[in-house]
Amino acid sequence: MKLRHFISSLQFTRPELESFFLNAQAIDRLLKTGGLAARKELHERLALFQACSFFYEPSTRTRCSFESAANRLGMSVVSTENAAEFSSTSKGETLEDSTAVLGGLGFDVLIMRHKETGAAERAAKVCNLHGLPMGVVNGGDGTGEHPSQSLLDLYTIWKEKADRGIDGLTVVIGGDLKHGRTVRSLALMLSLFKTKIIFVAPEHFEVQSGVKSGLEGRGIEFREETDPAKALPEADVVYWTRVQRERIADPALLSGLDLSKYVISAETLGTMKPDVTIMHPLPRVGEITTDVDCHPGAAYFRQAWNGLPVRMALLERICLGK
Ligand code: NCD
**pLDDT tens digits, residue range 87-118?**
888 899 999 999 999 999 999 999 999 999 99
Give the bridge partners for 114, in sequence order. 141
Name which residue sits closest to atom 8 of ligand 1, judged by CA.
Answer: 281
**Ligand 1 pocket, residue 150 CB under 6 Å:** no
DSSP 196-207: EEEEE--TT-PP
Q: What are the two backbone dihedrals, phi and then psi, of residue 166, each rounded to the nearest 5 degrees?
A: -80, -40
Closest CA to 235 of 288, 188, 171: 171
CA contacts within 13 A on the Cβ side of 109: 32
Write down the pTM of the prediction.
Answer: 0.97
Say whether 223 is catalytic. no
Q: What are the two backbone dihedrals, phi and then psi, of residue 41, each rounded to the nearest 5 degrees?
A: -65, -45
**Ligand 1 pocket, residue 5 CB under 6 Å:** no
Q: How confident is the prediction along the chain (322 residues), in pLDDT tens digits per residue?
A: 679 999 999 999 999 999 999 999 999 999 999 999 999 999 999 999 999 999 999 999 999 999 999 999 999 999 998 898 888 888 999 999 999 999 999 999 999 999 999 999 999 999 988 888 999 999 999 999 999 999 999 999 999 999 999 999 999 999 999 999 999 999 999 999 999 999 999 999 999 999 999 999 999 999 999 999 999 999 999 999 999 999 998 888 898 899 999 999 999 999 999 999 999 999 999 999 999 999 999 999 999 999 999 999 999 999 998 7
Mean pLDDT of the chain: 96
Question: What is the tens place of the pLDDT at every residue in 29-87?
Answer: 999 999 999 999 999 999 999 999 999 999 999 999 999 999 999 999 999 988 988 88
Q: Which among 45, 63, 72, 146 is annotated as catalytic?
A: 146
**Ligand 1 pocket, residue 181 CB under 6 Å:** yes
Distance 282 CA to ligand 1 centre (A): 6
**Ligand 1 pocket, residue 242 CB under 6 Å:** yes
Strand order in the sheet with 135-141: 76-80, 50-55, 109-114, 135-141
Contact 278, 240 (CB under 8 A): yes
Exposed, middle or buried: residue 50 (CB in 10 Å: 0-12, 13-18, 19+)?
middle
Q: Is the peptide bond preceding residue 283 cis, with omega within 30 degrees of 0?
A: yes
